[in-house]
Amino acid sequence: ETKKEGKNAARFFRPVMNSAAQTRLRLETRLREAVTCQGLTLHYQPQVDVSSGRLVGLEALARWTDPELGVVSPGEFIPLAEDTGLIVQLGAWVLDEACRQAAEWALRVPMAVNISPAQIVRPEFVETVSDTLERHKVAPHLLKLELTERLHIRDPQQAAHRLGCLRALGVTLSLDDFGAGQSAVASLMNLPLQEVKLDRTLLAGVTHDPASWQVLKALLALARGLSLPVVVEGVETPQQLDILRYLGCETVQGYMTGRPEQPTTLAERLWPSSAGHIRPSA
C-alpha cells in the first residue's frame, strides 16, 4: 500500500479507494441529474401559533427520491450540494417552486425557504430573489429566508451587507438552528434579522431536565429582549407544547402540530373545502 510498491500499488489501491469515493461520486452524479431534470420535490411544514392553533407560516423542505438510490435525506444531499456548488441551482429551484406554490395557494402567511451561505455570497442572489418574487407575483413580506449562522462566521461584513440588500427588498430574514452547535450570539446583534428559530435539540430535555429548561427559558428571554419573534422547532409532544406555552413562546413548528407533507396532502388537511387549490382562508 505504500509508494515503494510502485506500479503494482495501483492494483491494491484502487478497489479500496473506490468504494467511498465512488459512492459519493454516484450520489453527486444522481443529484446533478435530479437538480437539472426536475427530480426534486418540496414538502411543506406548518408553523403554528401556540395560543390560537392558527397557521402562521409554512416551511418548504427539499425532498429527493432517486429512481436508483431511493429516498435520500436532506441531511445527506444538502451538504453534498453545498460542497459541489450544486446548491446554487438547487436553491434557485427551491425558491422558485416555493414561490410558485405560495402563489397557487394564494397564501396569506409567509413561505419560509432555507438558504445556504453559498447562495447568499453569490453577487446575483438579491436579483434572483426579486426576479422570483416578481415572476410569481408574490409580495416580498410573504417570503421568509431561513439563514444559518455559518454565513455570519465566514465573512461578517459581507453577510451583513447582503442581508441588508435583501431586507431592502422587503423579505423577512430568519436565523435558523439557533442554539445548535456553536451559536454566536453576535449574529443576533449584527445581522438584520426579524426572527430566530430555536433548534430542536434545545427541546430534547425540557420535560425532565432542569438545566435544559433554564437554557430554553434564557434563549427565549434573549430573543424577547432583542424584540425578535421566535419559532421553536421540533415540538413533538403535548408536554413540550405546554412548557412552551408556559414560557410564553408564540410560534412552534414540529411533528406535534404538523409534519412536513406533500402539497396536495397538506392543502386537503388545511383547507379541506378548497380541494387543495382554491384560495385558502389562512
Residues at the contact surface with ligand C2E, assessed by CB under 6 A? 45, 61-62, 73-75, 78, 91, 94, 114-116, 146, 176-177, 200, 233-236, 253-255, 260
* 94 contact partners, CB below 8 Å, separation of at least 6: 40, 42, 60, 62, 113, 114
B/e letters for 233-248, b = 16+ CB within 10 Å, e = fewer, are: bbbeeeebbebbeebe
In angstroms, the CA 49 to CA 28 distance is: 39
* 99 contact partners, CB below 8 Å, separation of at least 6: 111, 132, 133, 135, 136, 138, 143
The dihedral formed by the CA atoms of 108, 188, 238 and 274, expressed in degrees to the nearest 10 = 10
- What is the smallest separation between the CB atom of 87 and ligand C2E, expressed in angstroms? 6
Determine the length of the chain.
Answer: 282
In angstroms, the CA 184 to CA 170 distance is: 25
Q: Name the phi and psi angles at 175, rounded to 5.
A: -95, 115
- What is the smallest separation between the CB atom of 92 and ligand C2E, expressed in angstroms? 10
Q: Which is nearer to ligand C2E, 93 or 274 (CB)?
A: 93
Q: Name the phi and psi angles at 275, rounded to 5.
A: 55, 25
- What is the smallest separation between the CB atom of 191 and ligand C2E, expressed in angstroms? 17
Helix, strand, or coil here: 237? Answer: coil
Give the CA distances from residue 4 to residues 7, 17, 223, in Å, rounded to whole numbers and listed in that order.
9, 18, 60
Q: What is the contact surface with Mg ion in residues (CB under 5 A)?
A: 114, 146, 176-177, 233
In angstroms, the CA 197 to CA 251 distance is: 9
- What is the smallest separation between the CB atom of 2 and ligand C2E, expressed in angstroms? 41
Which of the listed partners (Mg ion, ligand C2E, none) does 254 bind, with a CB threshold of 5 to 8 Å by partner kind? ligand C2E
Q: Which is nearer to Mg ion, 176 or 195 (CB)?
A: 176
Q: Which is nearer to Mg ion, 193 or 271 (CB)?
A: 193
Which of the listed partners (Mg ion, ligand C2E, none) does 260 bind, with a CB threshold of 5 to 8 Å by partner kind? ligand C2E
Q: Which is nearer to ligand C2E, 105 or 148 (CB)?
A: 148
Q: Which is nearer to ligand C2E, 12 or 255 (CB)?
A: 255
Which of the listed partners (ligand C2E, Mg ion, none) does 55 bind, with a CB threshold of 5 to 8 Å by partner kind? none
- What is the smallest separation between the CB atom of 271 and ligand C2E, expressed in angstroms? 21
- What is the smallest separation between the CB atom of 244 and ligand C2E, expressed in angstroms? 12
- What is the smallest separation between the CB atom of 275 and ligand C2E, expressed in angstroms? 26
Q: Which is nearer to ligand C2E, 54 or 279 (CB)?
A: 54
Q: Which is nearer to Mg ion, 97 or 176 (CB)?
A: 176
Which of the listed partners (Mg ion, ligand C2E, none) does 263 bind, with a CB threshold of 5 to 8 Å by partner kind? none
Helix, strand, or coil here: 52? Answer: coil
